[in-house]
Structures are given as C-alpha cells and as structure tokens.
Amino acid sequence: MGSFARGVARVIELFITFLFFAITVMVILLVILRYFCNTTIIGGQEFVTFCFIYTTAVGAALALVKGEQIAIRVFLESLPTRTKVWMERVNFFLIALLNVVVAFLSISWIRSVGHFPSPVLRIPQGVVLISLPVGCGLVSLYAILLMFMQPFRDSPGQ
C-alpha cells in the first residue's frame, strides 16, 4: 500500500483514538456526576452516541487496512496460493461493491432526514449521518487498494 494510503490510515487511527478518549472521559464524567453529584451534562449521552457512531463507521476502514475484519479462513487456507489470492481479490471487490451501494443509498437518506435537529444537542442529524457515506467510501477505497495490492503481497518469494 502506498505511503499516502498509510498516512490516511494513520490520520484515521488518530481520529478514532481521539474519539475513544472523548467517549471514555465523557462516560466517566457522566457516571461521577450522576452518582455523586445527582446531576448530569445535558446532551452528554447524545454526544457519546454520536462519537460511537463515528468510531464504528470510520473504524471499519481502519480494520480493513489492518486486516482485522471478521473472516472465516478455514476454507481459504486449504486452497493453492494462486487460488487464494484470487479469492481474496474477489472478497475485497465484494466489500468495495457493498460499501459503494450503502454509501450511495445513504445519501438520499441523509438528504431526507439530515436537516432535522438531534433531540438534545439540536445539531442537524446530517452531521452524524454523514459518517456512513464517509466510512463506506473509505472502506471502498481501501478495499480497492487491497484488491490490487494483494497479489503482490502474497506472491511466493516476496
């Protein structure tokens, strides 16, 4: 994979790390406030939910890049190397195709409901919902990159 793609993956990783840190701090703060001070932060739970949505949508691309996606490899491991490489290419193609379709379909969904404000924070739902096409787009791009890089990574003698 090229240095640009690795750089983007690193930025995604830093973004997700920041979001997980924000989620952790906010949840701890909300628990302390709820049980020790009998109060809360208005919109705190909604903020945590929005951060979690972004980590899930964008984190899928990072999982794909790092080879940490869910896979059942029992059948694949029994195949010859050449067949295995082509099966993995087909797998990456199908991942890219599925994510392109989801991203495409999510755009009309965001157009129809994205202008509605969130219940507590009152920010437009589109700010959160845009994470779906962004995440799917990143997964698609990385799947296409991996589809073309795969034969070079698994070639004998490399």
Per-residue pLDDT of the chain (158 residues; tens, 9 = 90+): 678 888 889 999 999 999 999 999 999 999 999 999 999 999 999 999 999 999 999 999 999 988 887 777 778 788 898 888 888 899 999 999 999 999 999 999 999 999 999 999 999 999 999 999 999 999 999 999 999 886 544 444 43
pLDDT at position 41 is 95
The total number of structural domains in the chain stands at: 1
Return the closest-CA partner of residue 65 out of 150, 152, 142.
142
Q: Measure CA of the first residue to CA of the last residue in the chain; give whole Å.
A: 14
Six-digit token pair at 81?
Answer: 């190397």
Range of the domain at 147: 3-154
Report how far Cα 22 is from the mean position of its chain's Cα atoms.
17
pLDDT at position 73 is 76
The pTM score is 0.84
pLDDT at position 85 is 87
